[in-house]
Every structure is written in C-alpha cells, then in structure tokens.
C-alpha cells in the first residue's frame, strides 16, 4: 500500500504516522525546508497551556525515523496522472544546495554567512541568514540555501559556507529535480495561511507601530522566536518596549470583513495569549474585544472562565470602529459596545494591539486543486464530497482531505481529520489488496 | 550491578522549565555527585537533536544509567526509552524526574524554592537510578477482533470503517435498535439530510460488511486484560434479546458461560461510542409546567413527525442550564440546531415570527457562519442576552410571555410566543460512568470520557487499545462524530494490525520469600495474580498480560515478597535517604 501525503504540519504528520503504523508506505511531501507547519511555531496550546513543540517534536522524530515514511523537503506536487489505485505523481524537488546525508546541522555555515534577510517565519520581525535552518527543532536538522538571497548563487561571489563546512556538504551545483512516484491514494494536508490585514484601513496594520497579528505575538512569546520570549518589538514598524496595556481584536478579516468564514480558533487563541501574558508579565493588562465568543472545544469554556477569575483578563463585547495613533506612541481604540454606532463610540488607549486574523486558504491552493482535479468550495478551501457523511473525502475518488485546508480548525480537530482521512485511505486500499483474503477470527 | 556511570540530562523545555529553574546552574551543581559521569542540558531534549545528544553521550561515555530531568514521563518516557535502547542500554535503566509539572509549573512565583526542589528531585532520581535493574519485556499475540460499544452514528461509522480496513468487528448496542440519539432528530446539519435516511444509510453500510457482527440489547459487563487481549463479558439488557447477527456460518458460535445472559469474547481493541443525552431543563423557564415549553429535541420531534401547526410566534432560548449554570461548558451543537430548525419553520411558515435569544452565537467555521447568515437572510431575529440578565418567562392564561433586556444597547423587548423552545446542553449519562469504571479509564470534570491528550490524542484514552469517538467524549455535531468514528477506527487498526504487543514487566514475586498466603490474589483489582505450586513451593505468580502496575499487591504483602520492578522499596528508601542526607548537609 502506497500513499502520498501533501503537507507535513501536525495534520500531515499524523496522517503519515497513522498510515505508516498501519503498514502503508508513505511519501510525505513538504514545501518548506523542514516539517512542522504552523504548530512548530506556536509557543503553547490551549486549553492546557501545554508546550506546542513538546507535543510535536516527538511526532516529528518518529516520522523521520520510520523506515516506511519517505520525507521530501522543498518539494511540491508537479503533476498527477491516473486514478485511485494507481496515481502517477511527479514531484518537483527544489535544490537545497546541501548534500542531505553529509550535513549534521552543526550551524557553522549559518554563523559565518554574511547575508541577512528578513525571516519569513517571524513575519520579518527578525532576520535569518541566506543559509538557514528554519527553526531550532527543525526536522530534519539540515541547512538549506535560499537561492534568491545567496550571494554565491545570485552573483557568483562569497562562497563562505562552502569554505566553512567541515563536512563539505555545500553543493552550489545542485539542480531542481523531478521525482516520479506511484501511489494508490493521496491525502492533502496543506493547512492554512494566516491573513495579514494590510488592506483593512481601520486597523492601521503595517502603518503604525504596535499593531501586530496574533501569530506575530505568538512568535514574540515563543522562546525560540525573534526575542526569545521577551515582549519587545523591534520590527519594521518601530521599537516598542515597556508594554503595559494590550488589546486583542477578534474576527479581523473574518466573518464578513474580508472573508466570510469564522476562523474557529481566534477566540481561544486570544484567551491563551492573554493568559500567557498575564502569567509571565503580571503588570500587563489585557483586554479582548469580541463579537461572539466561540469556545468550540472540550474544556474551553472553563479556560475562558479561568482567564477571567484567575488572570483578570477583560472581555468586551464590542465592535472596534477605528484605531488612532497618538503622539505619546500609544494607540487609541474606538469601539462601539452599545450597537448605536458613531454617536456613542467609546475609546481606550493601548501600547500594543493584537489583531486575531483569519485563517485563510494557503497560497497555491487553486494550483494544487487543478493538479489534483479536485474542487474548491465557496470559501476557497478544498471541498468535502459530502460535509456530513464523508467530511474528509474530496470530490475525487482516492484523494482525501484533512486539517485546515478543508476549513479552519484547531489542532484537535485537525488530528481527528487526519485519522479520519487515514481511515478512508486504508479502506480504499484494503478493498483492492485483501478483497478475498480471509481474516482470522 | 549498581550504576557507576550515571548520565544526567536536563531539559529547559523552552521557557517552561528554564524560566523558573536555572538549568545551567543546576547542571553544574549535580556534577559533583558520586557516580555521576556526565551532565548535559538542552532547550528541548525531546527534539531530534536533543535525542541524538543523549544517544551519543550514552555511547561515548559508556553510561550505565540515565536520569532525565524534564516533563512528565507520561509525555515522553517512551521516546527516551527508545533512545536508551538505540544506544544499546537496557531501557529500564532510565529514570525520569518531572521538573515541569511537579516543579516549575507549580512554583511559578517562587524561583528560589523551585530551584532547591529541582535539585532535591534530581538527587532523589539519581539515587534511585543507581539501584535500577535491567528488565526484559515479553510479548503476546494480538486478537484481531475489535469491539465497538454503542450503535449510534459514531459507533456504526467506526464499525464500518474498521471492517472495511479488514478487521472483524463486534458492534454492541444497549437499545433494541441501532441509531442512538439520531433517532430523535429531524434533519441533520450541514446537508439537511433526514435523520431516518442517515440511519438507513449507516445501517445499510453495517449490513453490507460481512465482518461486522451486531448485537443489540447488549451491554458491557466486565473487561479484563490489556491491549491486544481484552477478555470481554457482555450481557443482555432485556428479557428478549434480539441478536441480529450477520456473521458468516463458519464463524465460531457465540460462547455462553454459566449464566446464560453473559457472553465471553476476546478482542484486541475497544472503541467507545456510547454518546450523550440532552439535559432536561428542570427548574428553568417553567419547563414541565406547560406543554408549550419544550426542549430542542422535543421540538425536533414535532418537525420530524410533521406535527407543528403554523405558529404565530416562536422563541428559542439558548444556553439553558449551560455555560456556567448546571454545567460549565458550551454544548457546541445547540446554536446550530436552533438556527437550522428556525430556518426550517420559516421555510414552511414564512409569516411566523421567530426569535433566537442567545448569549454567544456559537457557529464556528465556514459552514457554521454560513448557517448564521442564512438565518439572518430568513429574517430570523437574533437577540443577545447576558447570563446576569436572563430573560423572564411567564405563563399567562393564553400566552407565554418572554421579557428581557437584549443586545449591546440593553433594549427591553417582550415576546408572546405560541411555543418556547429551550436549547439545553448534551450531557454525559450514567452508562458512561459505569463504562469508565469497568474499563478503569478516567472521566473529565463534566463526566465525559477523557482523552489521552486533548491536542494530539483526541481519540485515544489513557489505556492503550481503548479509543473514543462521538459525544461520549464531548458534545459535537454529527459530521464531527462521523470523522471521529472513522478516526477511531484508524487508531484501533494500528493496534489490530500488529503481530504482537510488548508487555513491560510491572511486578515480580520473590519466590523464596513468598509463603503463598494469597492476600495479594484477593486484593488485585485486575485478577492478575494467582497461586501456583511448582518447584519453588506454593507462591504467587503475576500475569503480565493482566497486570496494570497499580501496586496494591505490594502494599498488601506482609513478607515483602512482591515488588514493583520500577518502584521497589529499596528504590524508595534510597530516595528518602538521599533527601535526608541532602537536607542535613544543607543544614535544614
């Protein structure tokens, strides 16, 4: 039995492990240089405040160490022919410019690389080198060269990394390659992107200092983030420290603002961040502006209650109408908590404003849908064959969907999807292989 | 035999431990301890690089014991166990010290105290590790059969999926008919499929799988054993059991033992799909005093049987008894159900005025938000109320009167509905508690069955080989129950596809000391002990398959003949001694 799994965030990892443990040979394909997806970048998870990478890291090393999981980094699906039971898949594996079996991840090349570029993982709040390991616990822990920024690959100069590498793992001549594989089923787990609300005028995102997305705050709080867990801003939008008052604004870009859907996780995510902030920095005040509070998982309601009673997080049912930059460096939030609109706006000043933005279909969703010949739904996510009775089946036989690429959800739901999609794939592969086999009782 | 070359590895767990406990300093302080050969620390020991460092150190320094100061062994002991094994060290020579849950997390505000405690815990762990002895695992064959408890939507889905994955399935249901809560519903969100059609579809799927055996009017009576080999006793719950079996003729006939209402089976894994029930809103809004006041499911019954006469006005009240009242949680299905039902009424009777009085409209996701929008477009009124200003309901001679302060503007509104529908939460039932007791798995504070880990193991229980799906885990919409049912089948399939299962030796009997009194046999809750007569005379013997490692036998044995291999009294004594010695050196 052979399956292709596209995407190696928590969903793809769980699909790969469930299938591999059921005896399936898994081809796990990842666009980035390492597995982990969004979960690897989170600090903690709600509602237990359990450390995110601690839950994920063991799964990642299990994945990479299994004989029947083949992991392809920097790779994308290029074309798919055939049908259920016999998909002929061509992968495009982009050059890493590093010989994977030689690199030990020692990091010498990174220390010596003279080229710094904004780190996409931290939304440009920090820099990384042109040769990089995406994050400290990356699996596999192997360096990769960013071909757009490497001085040697772009201008033929430098070459420091090759000189420094004690194992001679750097290979500037590596080329992109096509890999052909045959699989019986395909599972798509490409996740979601986090919306950055540049286009929504009223939030001033990207225009004034001290307005962040919740994911950017998450990176700041994370011990492996740009400030190693310190609440200090040194981003493209100026320097802010001595933060005392923080506002969270929910549903930014969601629920009709730009995208129609509710992103499911933002209410709990904001609560988690408020709790973490109050825990680490007790003199910070946190206020959450919300529309409807949606605590969609087990024990979430308790979590919200606890944030009020034990951590004094303020909740405000109000719609935020605008944000104004003040001369003292703070931002004034104007909000409507009476439903009367303009005539009865209230306001409050904050040092930092955190926008809980929408989870949106990842870039290249349409392209991949075309390659796989599967349909999208009205929200731009992959479409369930039947959202009630076969929630994780796509509109094409033999291709299954799991996690946020299906619609926004939290880790728990993504993992449920992952096992459900695995079950569907196992069902269809079992039918062919063991139709007439007796199963002992 | 005793550890002479101990390796100590400390984890900062990002900032989880590192922010409270100064790990580099602790590492420095532990270096001088007798027999400690190597001390190392890292930001995340559980990461690939952390694990490699441990493996390399074991080999390089020829370590004969490993002590890891990190998070709870529940999380990652397995990972470190394999690392030891990989490095050629008997993995039972590993000791984990919990510096996170038992130290840094609980002493957030007392760094100095936490630091001292961390050192004490590590010293105790090291002194225990010195005395650890190599153990050797055994293995057993696996029964390839699966038991699914509960024949509602989740259970049927799980059974069908597991059968299609190639496993023999026994599906039991306590009622006479399959279907569960679904039988009482009208149409199902998000597709609007009729519940009867869904039940028929699921039943058809069950019937089409030769590998599924269905037993209705059947309940779980007792379970022994562990993953791979659960010995299950089933009982019929009514005088007239209807055993709808569609097993092929060459199957083993049903075994009957003693009491003819009991059946014995051996299964390799169990999926629980025992569901939940709608709470009765007793004491809320005059429920029970007037038949115009009903629950959501009673209202679905009217819709389902086409018994609803055109109402002039309808009012739904959400969160009745939920979210901080009788139960603390949000039931997650009621808003969706109320809006779905309201839209259906509107479509049939466009002139009916419908108001939904809600706290937060819980319709997460894309399809949920769409439903909410459809509700608005159908001219259903939504009015927000807060918990401290709940609407007031009065029963007048002719009318029900609902009055309250609504919306952000706290506007006073009055409604005079013909029918008042109360959305109450789904709650766990007493059978779930009984099952938890039989299987010795925990329930959460709301009496739902508890998962192994809320994030990465939502369908596993604390006990290997037992899985969860549907509303016995938490209230959820049908589509989620279906996904979870399939998911649980995939999880169970992992165990059932193995050829054998490894058993860790939990307890052992010193046959020279044991006098064969049998006290341990009497107290063992898992029937894992028996008395045998052999060349060592009469003595107790542990059945590794049944033993769950609870330790009751050791506490009972008056000759100290039974020991927990991993919590031997000599380990515990050494830990206490080392602590006392440390305290006296520190001058406490």
DSSP string, A332-385: EEEEESSS-GGGG-EEEEESEEEEEEPEEPPTTHHHHHHHHT--B-TTSSBPPS
pLDDT at residue B419 is higher than 90? yes
Chain B contact set for A412 (CB, 8 A) = 454-455, 458
Strand B313-317 vs strand B353-358: parallel, antiparallel, or unpaired? Answer: parallel
Cβ burial, residue B516 (10 Å; 0-12/13-18/19+): middle
In the beta sheet, which residues pair with residue B215?
Answer: B172
* DSSP H helices in A234-316: 266-280, 300-309
| pLDDT confidence tier of residue B252, bands split at 50, 70 and 90 | very low
pLDDT at residue B246 is higher than 60? no
Q: Is the dihedral of CA B34, B39, B45, B51 positive or negative?
A: negative
Mean pLDDT taken over chain A:
91
| pLDDT confidence tier of residue A237, bands split at 50, 70 and 90 | low
Subunit contact B167:A137, Cβ cutoff 8 A: no
- What kind and span of H or E run contains B262? strand B262-267
Chain A, chain B: beta-carbon pairs less than 8 Å apart: 252
**Quick one: DSSP state of residue B448?**
P
What are the phi and psi torsion angles at B138 (to 5°)? -115, 175
Q: In terms of CA atoms, which chain A residue is nearest residue B359?
A: A292
Give the lowest-confidence range in B53-62, B343-352, B528-537: B528-537
Could you give the CA distance from residue A333 to residue A246 in angstroms, rounded to a whole number?
Answer: 11
Subunit contact B48:A61, Cβ cutoff 8 A: yes
- Closest-CA distance, A37 to chain B, in angstroms, reads 15
Chain B contact set for A225 (CB, 8 A) = none
Subunit contact B408:A338, Cβ cutoff 8 A: yes
Strand B277-278 vs strand B426-427: parallel, antiparallel, or unpaired? Answer: antiparallel
> Considering CB atoms only, which of A51, A255, A416 is closest to B14?
A51
SS3 for B311-349 is CCEEEEECCCCCCCCCCCCCCCCHHHHHHHHHHHHHHHC
**What pTM value is reported for the model?**
0.88
Average pLDDT rounded to a whole number, residues A303-320: 93
Subunit contact A419:B459, Cβ cutoff 8 A: yes
Name residues whose C-beta falls within 8 Å of residue B535's C-beta, 6 or more positions apart in sequence: none
Closest to A279 (Cα-Cα) out of B109, B59, B479:
B109
Give the lowest-confidence range in A2-6, A267-271, B249-253, B402-406: B249-253
pLDDT at residue B257 is higher than 50? no
pLDDT at residue A376 is higher than 90? yes
Mean pLDDT taken over chain B:
91
pLDDT at residue A432 is higher than 70? no
Subunit contact B365:A339, Cβ cutoff 8 A: no
Chain A contact set for B467 (CB, 8 A) = none
- pLDDT the model gives residue A332: 94
In our burial notation (b when 16+ CB lie closer than 10 A, e otherwise), range B14-51 reads bbbbbbbbbbeebbebbeebeebbbbbbbbbbbbbbbb
- What kind and span of H or E run contains B564? strand B562-564
- Closest-CA distance, B2 to chain A, in angstroms, reads 30
3-class SS shares of chain B: helix, strand, coil, % to 5: 35, 25, 40
Could you give the CA distance from residue B142 to residue B129 in angstroms, rounded to a whole number?
Answer: 33
| pLDDT confidence tier of residue B259, bands split at 50, 70 and 90 | low
Q: Tokens standing for A9?
A: 């965030």
- In 3-state terms, what secondary structure has residue B100? helix
- pLDDT the model gives residue B258: 44
- Closest-CA distance, B112 to chain A, in angstroms, reads 17
Give the lowest-confidence range in A413-422, A426-435, B204-213, B278-287: A426-435
Name residues whose C-beta falls within 8 Å of residue B434's C-beta, 6 or more positions apart in sequence: none
pLDDT at residue B253 is higher than 80? no
């Amino acid at each position: 039995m052979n399956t292709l799994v596209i995407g190696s965030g928590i969903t793809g990892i769980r699909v790969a492990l469930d299938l591999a443990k059921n005896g399936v040979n898994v081809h796990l394909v990842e666009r980035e240089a390492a597995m982990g997806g969004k979960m690897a970048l989170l600090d903690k998870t709600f509602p237990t405040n359990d450390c995110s990478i601690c839950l994920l890291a063991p799964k990642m090393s299990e994945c990479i160490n299994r004989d029947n999981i083949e992991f392809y980094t920097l790779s994308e699906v290029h074309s798919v022919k055939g049908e259920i039971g016999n998909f002929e898949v061509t992968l495009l594996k982009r050059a890493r410019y590093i010989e994977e079996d030689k690199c030990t991840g020692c990091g010498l090349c990174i220390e010596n690389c003279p080229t710094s570029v904004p780190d996409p993982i931290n939304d440009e709040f920090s820099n990384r080198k042109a040769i990089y390991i995406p994050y400290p616990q990356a699996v596999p822990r192997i360096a990769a060269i960013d071909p757009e920024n490497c001085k040697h690959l772009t201008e033929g100069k430098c070459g420091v990394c090759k000189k420094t590498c004690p194992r001679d793992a750097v290979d500037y001549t590596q080329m992109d390659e096509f890999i052909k594989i045959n699989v019986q089923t395909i599972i798509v787990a490409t996740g979601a992107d986090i919306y950055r609300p540049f286009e929504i005028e009223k939030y001033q995102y990207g225009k004034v200092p001290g307005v962040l997305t919740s994911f950017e705050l998450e990176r700041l709080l994370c011990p492996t983030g740009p400030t190693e867990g310190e609440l200090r801003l040194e981003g493209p939008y100026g320097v802010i420290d001595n933060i005392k008052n923080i506002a969270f604004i929910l549903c930014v870009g969601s629920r009709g603002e730009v995208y129609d859907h509710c992103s499911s996780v933002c209410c709990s995510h904001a609560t988690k961040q408020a709790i973490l902030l109050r825990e680490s920095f007790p003199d910070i005040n946190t206020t959450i502006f919300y529309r409807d509070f949606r605590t969609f998982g087990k024990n979430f309601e308790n979590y919200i209650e606890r944030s009020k009673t034990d951590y004094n997080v303020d909740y405000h049912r109000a719609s935020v109408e605008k944000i104004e930059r003040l001369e003292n460096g703070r931002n004034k939030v104007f909000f409507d908590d009476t439903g009367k609109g303009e005539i009865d706006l209230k306001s409050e000043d904050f040092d930092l404003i955190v926008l809980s933005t929408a989870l949106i279909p990842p870039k290249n969703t349409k392209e991949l849908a075309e390659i796989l010949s599967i349909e999208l739904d009205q929200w731009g996510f992959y479409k369930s064959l039947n959202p009630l009775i076969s929630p994780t089946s796509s509109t094409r036989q033999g291709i299954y969907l799991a996690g946020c690429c299906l619609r926004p959800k939290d880790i728990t739901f993504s993992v449920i999807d992952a096992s459900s999609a695995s079950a569907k794939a196992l069902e269809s592969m079992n039918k062919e292989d063991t139709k007439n086999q007796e199963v002992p009782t | 035999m005793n550890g002479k070359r101990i390796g100590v590895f400390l984890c900062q767990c990002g900032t989880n431990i590192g922010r409270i406990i100064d790990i580099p300093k602790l590492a420095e302080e532990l270096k001088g301890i007798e027999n400690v050969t190597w001390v190392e620390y890292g930001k995340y020991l559980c990461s690939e690089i952390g694990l490699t460092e441990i493996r390399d150190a074991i080999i390089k320094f020829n370590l004969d014991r490993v002590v890891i100061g990190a998070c709870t062994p529940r999380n990652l002991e397995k990972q470190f166990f394999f690392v030891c094994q990989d490095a050629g060290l008997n993995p039972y020579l590993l000791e984990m010290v919990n510096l996170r849950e038992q130290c840094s997390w609980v002493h957030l505000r007392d760094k100095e105290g936490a630091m001292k405690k961390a050192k004490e815990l590590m010293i105790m762990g090291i002194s225990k590790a010195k005395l650890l002895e190599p153990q050797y695992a055994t293995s057993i064959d696996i029964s390839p059969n699966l038991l699914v408890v509960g024949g509602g939507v989740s259970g049927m889905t799980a059974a069908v999926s597991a059968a299609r994955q190639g496993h023999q399935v026994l599906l039991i249901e306590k009622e006479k008919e399959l279907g569960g809560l679904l039988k009482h519903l009208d149409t199902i969100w998000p597709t609007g499929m009729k519940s009867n059609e869904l039940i028929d579809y699921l039943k058809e799927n069950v019937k089409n799988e030769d590998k599924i055996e269905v037993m209705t009017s059947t309940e779980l009576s007792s379970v022994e054993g562990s993953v791979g080999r659960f010995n299950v006793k089933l009982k019929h719950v009514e005088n007239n059991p209807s055993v709808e079996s569609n097993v092929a003729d060459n199957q083993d006939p049903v075994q009957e033992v003693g009491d003819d209402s009991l059946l014995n089976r051996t299964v390799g894994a169990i999926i629980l799909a025992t569901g939940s029930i709608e709470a009765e809103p007793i004491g809320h809004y005059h429920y029970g005093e007037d038949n115009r006041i009903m629950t959501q499911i009673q209202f679905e019954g009217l819709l389902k049987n086409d018994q609803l006469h055109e109402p002039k006005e309808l009012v739904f009240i959400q969160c009745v008894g939920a979210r901080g009242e009788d139960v603390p949680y949000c039931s997650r299905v009621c808003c969706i159900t109320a809006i779905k039902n309201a839209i259906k009424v509107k479509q049939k009777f466009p002139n009916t005025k419908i108001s939904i009085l809600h706290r937060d409209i819980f319709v997460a996701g894309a399809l949920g938000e769409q439903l909410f929008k459809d509700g608005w477009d159908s001219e259903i009124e939504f009015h927000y109320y807060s918990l401290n200003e709940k609407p007031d309901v009065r029963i007048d001679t002719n009318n029900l009167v609902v009055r309250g302060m609504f919306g952000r503007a706290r506007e006073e509104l009055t409604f005079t509905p013909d029918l008042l529908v109360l959305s109450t939460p789904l709650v766990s039932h007493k059978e779930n508690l009984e099952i938890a007791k039989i299987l010795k798995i925990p329930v959460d504070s709301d009496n739902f069955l508890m998962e192994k880990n809320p994030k990465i193991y939502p369908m596993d229980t604390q006990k290997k080989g037992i899985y969860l799906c549907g509303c016995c885990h938490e209230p959820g919409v049908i589509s989620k129950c279906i996904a979870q049912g399939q998911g649980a089948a995939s999880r169970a399939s992992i165990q059932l596809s193995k050829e054998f299962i490894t058993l860790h030796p939990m307890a052992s009997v010193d046959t020279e000391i044991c006098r064969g009194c049998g006290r341990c046999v009497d107290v063992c809750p898992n029937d894992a002990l028996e008395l045998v007569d052999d060349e060592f005379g009469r003595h107790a013997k542990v059945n590794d398959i049944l033993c769950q490692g609870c330790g009751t036998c050791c506490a009972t044995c008056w000759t100290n003949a039974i020991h927990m291999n991993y919590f031997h009294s000599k380990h515990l004594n050494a830990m206490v001694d080392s602590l006392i010695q440390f305290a006296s050196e520190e001058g406490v």
